[in-house]
Amino acid sequence: MAPDSNTGTELSARGRRSPKETTTLDQADDFGCEGFCEDCDRIHSLPVGQARFYAENLMREFECIQRLDYLANPTEAQPRLSFHRLFPRGRGHMFGVLECQNQQGERVVLRAFSSLHDGIREVEGWVPPLLSAENFFGTVLPAQKVILELTEEIKAEPLGSNSYQDLLLERKAVSQELLQTMQALYRFHNFRGEARGLKDAFLGSGRIPGGVGECCAPKLLNHAVLHKLKPLGIAEFYWGGVSASGKRRSGQFYSACASRCEPVLGFMLCGLDHVE
């Protein structure tokens, strides 16, 4: 019998495994997410469980209300949170559901969205991002604005001129400084009570891609750890128009991505086997 409660609130492993293509849950129904843990020298995984049931309920909600702020009255809903505004050019987005159990044995269902455009980071009823609003608006956003301003200045300069080259170097320096700052600001938590920055939590070779920590699975697991919830299952799905690559379609389930999620999931899932 299906549950009836719903509380909204490149695995490259340094040469051990190579990144795999994103698979749907129909192809890999035995796990919702996984990652290699260097500390334990093994792969930690979390099954789909009943999370798929809750995710299907969420899709039906999407079909009905067509917006993210499901807790708001229709007359008070924010236009910027409507799917019409959130999915420009007919594109879509990834969403995730994490089925948990709290310390009283009650079922708790968390929902998350991967990073959205237009500065949308926190919506009531959805888990918050790993990067706090204070750090994002106080540190990251001002630097991003500087980068955009430099980009506009570069466009106005003659190609190859001294001023053009100087502005390129200045933008590169600001970008590199911002990347290092962001890597230091992100904190990933696991079920052993440990916390690490991005550089230490990310298990992969080569350059760390942008956007790590902004996908659904890391957000959901981090929130579960901080609120002493035991994850039971996870399901992620794509919603909206066909993705830019054409590989993802609305209403289809997909496992956590190999390039940004799996390299941190090994650390984040560590200790879950021992949570009571």
> Per-domain residue ranges for the chain?
13-129+188-274, 131-185
Res 63 pLDDT > 80: yes
Nearest to 204 by CA among 259, 257, 256, 267: 259
pLDDT bucket at 182, cuts 50 / 70 / 90: confident
**Assigned token pair, 197:** 């920055």
- Select the more confidently predicted residue: 90 or 93: 93
pLDDT at 51: 97
- Residue whose tokens read 């990251």: 140
Rounded to whole angstroms, what are the CA distances from 78 to 61, 125, 239? Answer: 17, 14, 19
pLDDT computed for residue 140 by the predictor: 87
Q: What is the mean pLDDT of residues 167-179?
A: 94
Q: Is the dihedral of CA 130, 216, 4, 50 positive or negative?
A: negative
pLDDT digits (tens, 9 = 90+) for 18-31: 334 344 444 445 56
Average pLDDT, the chain: 87
